[in-house]
């Protein structure tokens, strides 16, 4: 067990409920017939491989809220799906309460899968439009034998009350509900199988601010009441800052920084985290010039060598384009993957200027 | 006082639906000067997008502008023929939409579309128009614009497509630019790039910008003044900093309290109970009264009128707050459980 606990130095020192060890996920587009024929004539085409998740190690302690943030294409949703057991990793281990999920027998695997539920982004698209709400919420617990079929109605009523829906509306169809109510139906459906971990993939992104606030409050309340563990996948740093205990910042399939929420938002270490946080629009920031991080996230088909972030990094130096920086401890329970941390004894803070870095690079 | 570039007065837009006549925009007035940025904030169904479309004369049946006036550089747009509007649209007034593919034609190359937009309003050679299109692309930060002119919209990423849409909108140096949530679908870093470019371009050309969004924090950094819409009416308006710091209307205070952030971590957000009302079934008094923590009897019977306040502010409320949102008074209204 010790090995698992040491894998992620930032996790609270308790037995993790879920742990990922060196998890990879590759999506491969094989050559089609024409391309294979072209290869016979020496075209030299190769399979296209996207490394959506590239060597991620993460422990999730019971009762904690872990935020996964990053831009589109950084692999945060894929990682969320691996955690939820919807996708299997190409490499690496996913452990649920210490046991390797891939090696479980059918019954145990089902138990582990039920314990981790996912709530998706679009509250409309993830509900079957031709099913009544009572069936949507009640189907899974009956199928999995958690409740008897005749108990379904009462069980669903209880769940609907818990998430703030009127049980009298249970015979209605999803389209008869508003966006916020549909989000609540999704939450009730996930809760129906009595999960211990909820993976929320941009679950509030489609909602209006005032409705989003209601749903976020509901998440916090359920966490207290049911002692739930959350993995919150979001591009909205405001939401993550509000709800998460720990934050993992992802860039092109890799975690570049992992730390407690306060620490990451107060003193971001990785240049990407710094840039990301700088660009979050905030209520407090009055009329200002928006600074811009140059460039866009590169294609995951051809990620840059070395540190994936180096083409956009303001502090880039020679080593960045060659060596892949490891995710290393920079302080107690803080990890960051940046070569700058090796260069000087002092951490590269926000104040570190590009000149110092290039000077050091020239000397080194 | 100088004539504002955009002057909207008592605008009323109605839609005839099966449930009867719905007033989507009801008595909206605002003015934007050259180089000024106004934020139009509201939730879905508040009428903010319809207001934006009305400025461009893009309200189609069953909707119509029932009353009011929209003046761009002192020229009245309401009641103009479609032919006259076409001369204005894309030249004096331009719009950027949330989805750039609303603007771009997927089967035409970028250069074809941009040159067409220039030559529709000006007698210039194709070569000159192409050069202008290229410069416009360079200005919004598209690398190697000369080659990119020959590309089709699907060959661009989402952020790049939005830049092309912005470059196209700014081609004829419009006096007014209406932007309807153009960065909502984009990542934060790309959003910041686009915000910084739009900011610079409008400052440079003196374009009056109306930025429509549901995201108060974008407005906080971008706009000079803000108008908050609820159920088709502007419920509060004023300079951004003042409105965000000392909201007068309880709805504005509720919106601000709903924005998640660090200093509210772990504590429930000050949520607004209930949901936005259906426009066809508005209560007789203040439309916000059923969700408001301060509502009194007059709120349920008398529709509040626009009341001006010092510092260029105004609100429609019988029980104005005029206190910062984090004082005990605002806490009292906090609804803790759904």
- Is the pLDDT assigned to residue B263 strictly greater than 80? no
Query: How far does the CA of residue B277 sit from the closest CA of chain A (Å)?
Result: 11
Distance CA A281, CA A283 (A): 7
| CB of A4 closer than 8 Å to CB of A95 | yes
Helices assigned H by DSSP within chain A: 2-7, 33-40, 76-83, 106-115, 133-143, 152-162, 179-191, 209-226, 237-243, 261-266, 271-278, 340-343, 354-363
A331: buried, middle or exposed (CB in 10 Å: 19+, 13-18, 0-12)? middle
Q: Is A279 helix (H, G, I), strand (E, B) or coil?
A: coil
Instruction: Give me the torsion for CA of A221, A224, A227, A231, rounded to 10°.
Output: 50
- Is the pLDDT assigned to residue A331 strictly greater than 80? yes
CA distances from B81 to B71, B73, B75, B176 (A): 15, 18, 13, 20
Mean pLDDT, chain A, integer: 85
pLDDT at B318: 92
- Is the pLDDT assigned to residue B33 strictly greater than 90? yes
Tell me which residue of B157, B154, B317 sits closest to B248, measured CA to CA.
Answer: B317
Distance CA B229, CA B214 (A): 10
Which residues are within 8 A (CB) of A143 and not within 5 positions of it... i.e. 6 or more apart? none
pLDDT at A269: 92
pLDDT at A292: 65
Of B218, B255, B338, the CB nearest to A214: B338
| Per-residue model confidence as pLDDT tens digits over B110-127 | 999 999 999 999 999 999
Whole-number percent of chain B with pLDDT over 90:
49
What chain B holds in terms of domains, given with CATH numbers, is 6-228 (3.40.50.300), 249-332 (no CATH)
Residue in chain A closest to B190 (alpha carbons) equals A296
Cβ-defined contact of A275 to B189 (cutoff 8 Å): yes
| Per-residue model confidence as pLDDT tens digits over A279-328 | 887 777 656 666 667 777 787 788 888 999 998 888 888 889 888 998 88
Of A178, A286, A292, the CB nearest to B220: A286
Distance CA A336, CA A268 (A): 9
| CB of B231 closer than 8 Å to CB of B25 | no
Query: How far does the CA of residue B255 sit from the closest CA of chain A (Å)?
Result: 6
* Bridge partners (DSSP) listed for residue A41: none
Which residues are within 8 A (CB) of B77 and not within 5 positions of it... i.e. 6 or more apart? B55, B57, B70, B71, B85, B88, B93
Lowest mean pLDDT among A66-75, A180-189, A284-293: A284-293
Q: Which of A205, A208, A210 is the best mutation test for B, with the most CBs of B within 10 A?
A: A210
B327 band by pLDDT with thresholds 50, 70 and 90? very low
Q: Which pTM does this prediction carry?
A: 0.81
Cβ-defined contact of A235 to B224 (cutoff 8 Å): no
Residues in chain B with CB shorter than 8 Å from the CB of A286 are 220-221, 240-241, 244
Residue in chain B closest to A213 (alpha carbons) equals B258
Query: How far does the CA of residue B64 sit from the closest CA of chain A (Å)?
Result: 26
Please report the beta strands in chain B, taking only residues with DSSP state E, as ranges in sequence order.
6-17, 20-32, 37-41, 63-72, 75-76, 93-96, 176-180, 208-213, 225-230, 233-239, 307-309, 313-315
Q: CA angle, corner A69, sides to A64 and A70, nearest 5?
A: 165
Q: What is the mean pLDDT of residues A74-87?
A: 91
* Cβ neighbour number for residue B223 with a 10 Å cutoff: 25
CA distances from B123 to A31, B44, B117, B119, B137 (A): 50, 41, 11, 6, 21
Cβ-defined contact of B272 to A164 (cutoff 8 Å): no
């Amino acid at each position: 067990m010790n090995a698992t606990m040491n894998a992620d130095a930032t996790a609270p020192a308790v037995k993790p409920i879920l742990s990922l060890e060196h998890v990879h996920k590759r999506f491969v587009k094989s050559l089609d017939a024409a391309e294979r024929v072209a290869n016979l004539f020496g075209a030299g085409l190769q399979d296209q491989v996207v490394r959506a998740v590239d060597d991620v190690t993460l422990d999730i302690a019971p009762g904690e809220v872990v935020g996964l943030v990053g831009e589109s294409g950084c692999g945060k949703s894929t990682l969320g799906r691996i955690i939820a057991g919807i996708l299997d990793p190409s490499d690496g281990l996913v452990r649920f309460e210490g046991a390797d999920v891939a090696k479980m027998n059918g019954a145990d695997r089902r138990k582990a899968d039920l314990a981790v539920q996912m709530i998706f982004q679009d509250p409309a698209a993830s509900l079957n439009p031709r099913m009544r709400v009572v069936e949507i919420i009640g189907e899974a617990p009956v199928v999995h034998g958690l409740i008897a079929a005749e108990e379904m109605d009462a069980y669903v009523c209880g769940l609907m009350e818990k998430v703030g829906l009127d049980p009298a509306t249970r015979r209605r169809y999803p389209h008869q509900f508003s966006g916020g109510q549909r989000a609540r139906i999704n939450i009730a459906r996930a809760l129906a199988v009595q999960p211990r971990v909820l993976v929320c993939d941009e679950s509030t992104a489609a909602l209006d601010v005032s409705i989003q606030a209601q749903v976020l409050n509901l998440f916090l309340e359920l966490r207290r009441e049911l002692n739930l563990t959350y993995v919150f996948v979001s591009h909205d740093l405001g939401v993550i800052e509000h709800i998460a205990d720990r934050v993992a910042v992802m860039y092109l399939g890799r975690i570049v920084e992992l730390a407690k929420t306060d620490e990451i938002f107060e003193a971001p270490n990785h240049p990407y985290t710094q840039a990301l946080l700088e660009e979050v629009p905030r209520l407090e920031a009055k009329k200002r010039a928006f600074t811009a991080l140059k460039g866009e996230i590169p294609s995951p088909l051809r990620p840059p060598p070395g540190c994936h972030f180096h083409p956009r990094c303001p502090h880039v130096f020679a080593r960045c384009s060659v060596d892949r920086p490891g995710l290393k401890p920079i302080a107690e329970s803080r990890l960051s993957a940046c070569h700058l941390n090796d260069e000087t004894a002092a951490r590269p803070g926000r104040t570190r200027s590009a000149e110092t870095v290039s000077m050091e690079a020239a000397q080194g | 006082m100088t004539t504002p570039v955009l002057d909207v007065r008592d605008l009323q837009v109605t839609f005839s639906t099966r449930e009867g006549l719905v007033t989507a925009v009801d008595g909206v007035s605002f003015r934007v000067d050259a180089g000024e940025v106004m934020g139009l904030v509201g939730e879905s169904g508040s009428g903010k997008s319809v207001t934006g479309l009305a400025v461009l004369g893009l309200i189609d049946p069953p909707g119509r502008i029932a009353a009011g006036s929209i003046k761009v550089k002192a020229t009245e747009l309401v009641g103009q023929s479609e032919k006259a509007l076409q001369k204005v649209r894309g030249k004096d007034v331009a719009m950027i939409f949330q989805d750039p593919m609303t603007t771009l034609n997927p089967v035409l190359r970028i250069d074809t579309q941009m040159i067409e937009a220039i030559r529709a309003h000006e007698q210039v050679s194709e070569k000159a128009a192409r050069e202008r299109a290229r410069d416009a692309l360079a200005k919004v930060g598209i690398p190697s614009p000369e080659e990119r002119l020959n590309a089709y919209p699907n060959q661009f990423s989402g952020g790049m497509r939005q830049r092309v849409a912005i470059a196209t909108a700014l081609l004829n140096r419009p006096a007014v630019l209406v932007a309807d949530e153009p960065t909502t679908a984009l990542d934060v870093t790309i959003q910041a790039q686009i915000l910084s470019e739009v900011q610079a371009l409008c400052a440079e050309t003196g374009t009056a910008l109306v930025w429509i969004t549901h995201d108060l924090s974008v407005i906080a950094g971008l706009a000079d003044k803000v108008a908050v819409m609820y159920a088709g009416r502007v419920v509060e308006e004023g300079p951004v900093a003042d409105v965000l710091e000392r909201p007068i209307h309880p709805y504005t205070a509720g919106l601000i309290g709903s924005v998640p952030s660090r200093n509210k971590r772990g504590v429930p957000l000050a949520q607004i109970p209930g949901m936005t009302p259906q426009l066809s079934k508005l209560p007789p008094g203040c439309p916000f009264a059923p969700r408001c923590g301060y509502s009194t009897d007059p709120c349920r019977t008398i529709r509040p009128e626009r009341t001006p306040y010092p510092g260029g502010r105004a609100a429609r409320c019988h029980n104005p707050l005029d206190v910062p949102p984090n004082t005990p008074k605002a806490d009292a209204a906090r609804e803790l459980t759904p």
